[in-house]
């Protein structure tokens, strides 16, 4: 009887600590690095036509609704925390819903900041950017800024 309790404990610990193929598959499944690279390339170029397919229809609709608004930032700075134009943008997947964007001068020189693109699944099986959480404060998001422009 005592032997089985010890064996059960060992099996339980093994089950908890053993890596599973599922976690590896899940980490590969949620890899938005290519989406982030395309986002960085398009924002650095200031090319909304390149950005449009990366955005949800909802977010793109909000951006496009402000097209004639003179207070709307150009695409080069619209999708970033600050209006400083910096030449370096890198992206890495943080988790299933967040893509971390780092902007800086070459070599990571100041100014440097991070913002977070919110990734959502679409009905067609793709995933797109639905908002950007800016580095200034929690309530500062791209959608919040677009909402202020519409009022």
Number of structural domains the chain divides into: 1
Report if residue 18 sits inside a domain.
no
> Pick the residue with more confidence: 14 or 106?
106
Looking at residue 138, its pLDDT comes to 87
3-class SS at 127?
A: strand
Asked if the structure places residue 28 within a domain, the reply is: yes
Task: Read off the pLDDT of residues 47-66 as tens digits, 9 standing for 90 and up.
Answer: 999 999 999 999 999 999 99
The answer to whether residue 71 is domain-embedded is: yes
Domain containing residue 94: CATH number: 3.10.450
Note whether residue 8 is domain-resident: no
pLDDT at 118 over 70: yes
pLDDT above 90: residue 29? no
Q: What pTM, to 2 d.p., does this model score?
A: 0.80
Residue 41 lies in a domain: yes
Judge whether 11 lies within some domain.
no
**pLDDT interval class at 106 (50, 70, 90):** very high
Mean pLDDT, residues 78-102 taken together: 96
Q: Looking at the domain assignment, is residue 107 inside a domain?
A: yes
Instruction: For residue 122, give both structure tokens.
Output: 């679409």
Range of the domain at 88: 23-150
Element (H, E) at 98: strand 98-105
Instruction: With respect to residue 14, please indicate whether it lies within any of the assigned structural domains.
Output: no
β-pair type (98-105, 109-121) = antiparallel
């Amino acid at each position: 009887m005592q032997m089985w309790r010890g064996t059960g404990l060992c099996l339980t610990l093994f089950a908890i600590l053993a890596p599973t193929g599922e976690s590896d598959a899940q980490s590969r499944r949620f890899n938005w690095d290519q989406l982030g690279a395309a986002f960085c390339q398009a924002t650095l170029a200031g090319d909304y036509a390149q950005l449009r397919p990366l955005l949800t229809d909802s977010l793109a609709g909000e951006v496009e609704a402000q097209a004639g608004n003179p207070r709307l930032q150009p695409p080069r700075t619209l999708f970033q925390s600050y209006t400083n134009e910096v030449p370096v943008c890198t992206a890495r997947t943080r988790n299933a819903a967040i893509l971390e964007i780092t902007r800086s001068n070459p070599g990571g020189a100041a100014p440097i900041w991070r913002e977070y693109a919110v990734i959502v699944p679409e009905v067609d099986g793709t995933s797109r950017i639905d908002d950007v959480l800016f580095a200034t404060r929690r309530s500062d998001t791209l959608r919040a800024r677009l909402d202020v422009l519409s009022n």
